[in-house]
């Protein structure tokens, strides 16, 4: 049982480049979320999804896009990377509203 | 504003000590999560609770809804318990978003 799988684990981008962070879960969870974690701050919600075809913005959505074409996958796209997007990104999923959350291992992104 | 405050920010203790980490929040919640983040960065869910108390091994989580406060206790602490412990809450019914505390960095010395 793989749980929540994030790829890549590490990435360095140049300012202006685009990339997609992948997140996949094999637990048939409806709810999936992307967070970023910065030093001295708690995890902050970027975007979330409550099911295939349904996404919504979180606390810090600017500069990021998401889509949810399948239950399993929830990719996060950076359209034009900026140094302010240097962070550690976590994907999480849960079955439904009041259930345990499962986190991926994180992606450490550096934008230079 | 919906806020989550954890204390202490850093905690160092000796192996075997009883550990308490606190989490306070500003308004009524529908659920509270305790998470553990290891030095390698991975995040693991420890508990989700909305009332009362839960226990798993040496870990105990309690919540007092009236006082808007939760505690995470570790009995017979061990160096492998060294990690950052994060409290996260869901404010109100139907809310999709978790609001996270800044975390408590726990170090257990042998």
Distance from CA of A66 to the nearest CA of B (A): 16
Distances (CA, A) of B48 to A61, A84, A106, B51: 26, 32, 21, 10
Q: What residues in chain A have their Cβ under 8 A from chain B's Cβ atoms?
A: 31, 33, 35, 40-45, 48, 50, 56, 58-59, 88, 90, 92, 97-103, 105-106, 108
Closest residue, chain B, to A106 (C-alpha): B42
Check residues A109 and A50 and name the one with the higher pLDDT.
A109
Q: Is B97 a residue whose pLDDT tops 80?
A: no
- Residue-wise pLDDT tens digits, B51-96: 999 999 999 999 999 999 999 999 999 999 999 999 999 876 555 6
Cα–Cα distance, B73 to B56 (Å, whole number)? 11
Cα–Cα distance, A46 to A62 (Å, whole number)? 8
Give the confidence band of B25 by pLDDT, cuts at 50, 70, 90: very high
Q: Which two tokens stand for residue B22?
A: 């606190």
- Average pLDDT, integer, range B12-19: 97
Least Cα distance to B29 among B76, B77, B93 occurs for B93
Tell me the H-state helices in A1-112. Answer: none
Distance from CA of B91 to the nearest CA of A (A): 12
What does the pLDDT read at residue B64? 94
Whether B99 sits inside 8 A of A41 (CB atoms) is no
Burial class (CB in 10 A: 0-12, 13-18, 19+), B93: exposed
Cα–Cα distance, B4 to A104 (Å, whole number)? 23
Complete DSSP assignment for A20-36: EEEEEESS--SEEEEEE
């Amino acid at each position: 049982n793989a749980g929540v799988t994030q790829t890549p684990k590490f990435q360095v981008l140049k300012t202006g480049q685009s990339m997609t962070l992948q997140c996949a879960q094999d637990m048939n969870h409806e709810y999936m979320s992307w967070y970023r974690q910065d030093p001295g701050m708690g995890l902050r919600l970027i975007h979330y999804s409550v099911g295939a075809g349904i996404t919504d913005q979180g606390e810090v959505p600017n500069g990021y896009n998401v889509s949810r074409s399948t239950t399993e996958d929830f990719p996060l796209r950076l359209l034009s990377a900026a140094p302010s997007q240097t962070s550690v990104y976590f994907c999480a999923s849960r079955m439904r509203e009041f259930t345990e959350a499962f986190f991926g291992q994180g992606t450490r992104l550096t934008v230079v | 504003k919906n806020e989550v405050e954890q204390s202490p920010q850093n905690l160092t203790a000796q192996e075997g000590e009883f550990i308490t980490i606190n989490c306070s929040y500003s308004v009524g919640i529908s659920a509270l999560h305790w998470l553990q983040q290891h030095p390698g960065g991975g995040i693991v869910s420890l508990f989700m609770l909305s009332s009362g108390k839960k226990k798993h091994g040496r870990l105990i989580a309690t919540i007092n809804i009236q006082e808007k406060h939760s505690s995470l206790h570790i009995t017979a602490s061990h160096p492998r318990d060294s990690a950052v412990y994060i409290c996260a809450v869901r404010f109100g019914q139907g809310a999709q978003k978790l609001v996270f505390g800044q975390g408590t960095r726990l170090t257990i010395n042998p």
